[in-house]
A and B are shown apart, each in its own frame.
Chain A
């Protein structure tokens, strides 16, 4: 009998030891998820708490899927993501390659490179709002003083230019994520395959294209995973610089979501949007992770 309890106890020990983690995960992740999923199936309004008890099925989802504004914001978010990630990747790669060549002062430069990441995105937003301001902005001022234009370019007022300005700010702030990870990749790169490729007949570009780039791509995928999550929930910079304007031309999923949820107090519908956005993020993460795993398969053979 005692033996029976002993073995029972032994079997329970792992479960018992895992309990704190399980409980924490339950309260911090699972419950909120379930709660928000539920609210996305109700007409929940912050101003009328009792509405949380009304079940309306997938009506919120139907409404956002038939809403052109939502799809516009959705598409714009993907466009924003695609442009920002690609530009950051290219710039980051360039910076990493240049810094990798430097022999003197490299550590200092590496640190300086990280500066933009040290600022709060809200402040970066304010700063670029000032830079791009059409009347008092430093950019228009500079362009006019240099005689490049005599007009005040409406950076944040014209729809396309506003999008460009936001992407510019985003790229300025976060290119160093790519740069630092790609630089780490370049540091880890063994020298021998590069020399072997040179002997094998490659010129400098071919060495880069066929040997260096494939080797550092896993690092780029890590950066892309991090940044895709980051950019997909972009809110602060947009909110500060244009507030989704002019006329909704820079509205992204999350600025729309915040407007619906907090300004219009329609939390149920906002949560439905949040779920769609989450699926988008999961899709991106899954995509880059698949790439990463495929690329990592050969990393062990680098030596």
Chain B
């Protein structure tokens, strides 16, 4: 039995349909991240689970209860909002205990749970302060504390870190992960940041234009993107996508650039097929600066147009077969603009997508 299950859930505003019949099963204690560009319907989906938005069609179940028509307060879930949504006129203690107080819990229980949550989040010293006196990170902690005191069936996070500065965001990301280990509960987490999705999720749900594009573990969606959208969205810097054509055993990128079709993909392509070749920057490196020589390898020459020094690696911008591409130089040395370098492409990491449908050739 799933903790949360969505079946054929549709959301429409008047005639405008924004979520088109999505199906999703979320297991108990699973950390699921909904990710996608803005306007993809991920926040709407989360708000439908919370009950803050009505569903137009389909069913949502939390535990074994059908919650389609239940108001948020009867769904036994808690939610952390992007703007923290703390109650401005209450101090931290009352913010944390508010839900329990409304539920009619005795003061002793409220006090106990508030202290417990404050302990977990390290905000015990802030209990008497009001939200206006807290920093962004502290407010975020209080918002999470307010979610955990109620021991709900599921936590819903709506872009909780996007108002924090970069450093704090990384720190809070780790804390959310730790929090999930401590209080084992089902989590549905919405973000537009694929790094957050990759680092936090047990499973990632990638959405676009109101459809689910792919559901899988972070490793799965990174290594086996089902289409060019997922390929381009997951991974930073994004995968290089180059239009190409299959000619015999070769992937022809342009008249003078061709690479062999990897063995594992041979069964999935046919002669003359129009494809999109996908290569992650990590899998295209100058000789001696990343990929070790194997038999699954191709060689290309690239002229450096721009080199971005990142410390442990250098990002190299160039053109391959007339398309802008990025490669990575690990263990970098100084490179000059205009310098031509011989690159290796790891063919076992090469992705091929049907040029018509955008779908991975492996997916058929």
**Given contact pairs A297-B130, A298-B131, A299-B132, A198 touches B87 in the complex (Cβ within 8 A):** no
Does B204 belong to the interface (CB within 8 Å)? no
Pairs A-B, 4 closest by C-beta atoms: A301-B132, A301-B131, A192-B85, A200-B99
Does A201 belong to the interface (CB within 8 Å)? yes
- The reply to whether A202 and B132 contact each other, CB–CB distance below 8 Å, is no
Does B86 belong to the interface (CB within 8 Å)? yes
CA distance A272 to B88 in the complex (A): 45
Interface string of B131-166 (1 = CB under 8 A from A): 111100001000000100010000010000000000
**Given contact pairs A198-B52, A199-B50, A201-B73, A193 touches B88 in the complex (Cβ within 8 A):** yes
Partner of A301 from the list B79, B81, B88, B103 (CB cut-off 8 Å) is B88
Interface string of A265-303 (1 = CB under 8 A from B): 000000000000000000000000000000101111111
Closest residue on chain B to residue A206 by CB atoms: B102
Residues of B within 8 A of A206 (CB): 102
Name B's A-contacting residues (CB within 8 A). 50-52, 71-73, 75, 77-79, 81-89, 98-99, 102-103, 130-134, 139, 146, 150, 156
**Given contact pairs A215-B89, A301-B130, A301-B133, A192 touches B99 in the complex (Cβ within 8 A):** no
CA distance A197 to B84 in the complex (A): 12
Partner of B89 from the list A190, A199, A295, A303 (CB cut-off 8 Å) is A295
How distant is A210 from chain B, measured CB to nearest CB, in Å? 7
- The reply to whether B88 and A192 contact each other, CB–CB distance below 8 Å, is no
Residues of A within 8 A of B50 (CB): 199
**Given contact pairs A200-B99, A299-B132, A211 touches B72 in the complex (Cβ within 8 A):** no
How distant is A300 from chain B, measured CB to nearest CB, in Å? 4
Residues of B within 8 A of A303 (CB): 83
CA distance A190 to B89 in the complex (A): 13
Name A's B-contacting residues (CB within 8 A). 190, 192-193, 195-203, 206, 210-211, 214-215, 295, 297-303
CA distance A200 to B85 in the complex (A): 11
- The reply to whether B87 and A196 contact each other, CB–CB distance below 8 Å, is yes
CA distance A193 to B82 in the complex (A): 11
**Given contact pairs A193-B86, A301-B132, A200 touches B71 in the complex (Cβ within 8 A):** no
Residues of B within 8 A of A197 (CB): 87, 98
How distant is A214 from chain B, measured CB to nearest CB, in Å? 4
Partner of A300 from the list B73, B75, B98, B132 (CB cut-off 8 Å) is B132
How distant is B116 from chain A, measured CB to nearest CB, in Å? 17
Q: Which of B83, B84, B87, B150 has the most CB of A within 10 A?
A: B87
- The reply to whether A199 and B72 contact each other, CB–CB distance below 8 Å, is yes
- The reply to whether B131 and A199 contact each other, CB–CB distance below 8 Å, is no
Residues of A within 8 A of B86 (CB): 193, 196, 301
Residues of B within 8 A of A201 (CB): 73, 99, 102-103, 150
CA distance A200 to B133 in the complex (A): 23
How distant is B162 from chain A, measured CB to nearest CB, in Å? 13
- The reply to whether A196 and B85 contact each other, CB–CB distance below 8 Å, is yes
Residues of A within 8 A of B72 (CB): 195, 198-199
- The reply to whether A200 and B78 contact each other, CB–CB distance below 8 Å, is yes
- The reply to whether A190 and B83 contact each other, CB–CB distance below 8 Å, is yes
How distant is A200 from chain B, measured CB to nearest CB, in Å? 4
Partner of A198 from the list B71, B88, B89, B131 (CB cut-off 8 Å) is B71
Q: Which of A190, A199, A203, A302 has the most CB of B within 10 A?
A: A199
A-B contact pairs, 28 of them (CB 8 A): A193-B85, A196-B79, A196-B86, A197-B87, A197-B98, A198-B52, A198-B71, A198-B72, A199-B50, A199-B52, A199-B72, A199-B79, A200-B99, A200-B146, A200-B150, A201-B150, A202-B73, A202-B102, A210-B102, A211-B87, A215-B88, A297-B132, A298-B132, A299-B132, A301-B86, A301-B131, A301-B139, A303-B83
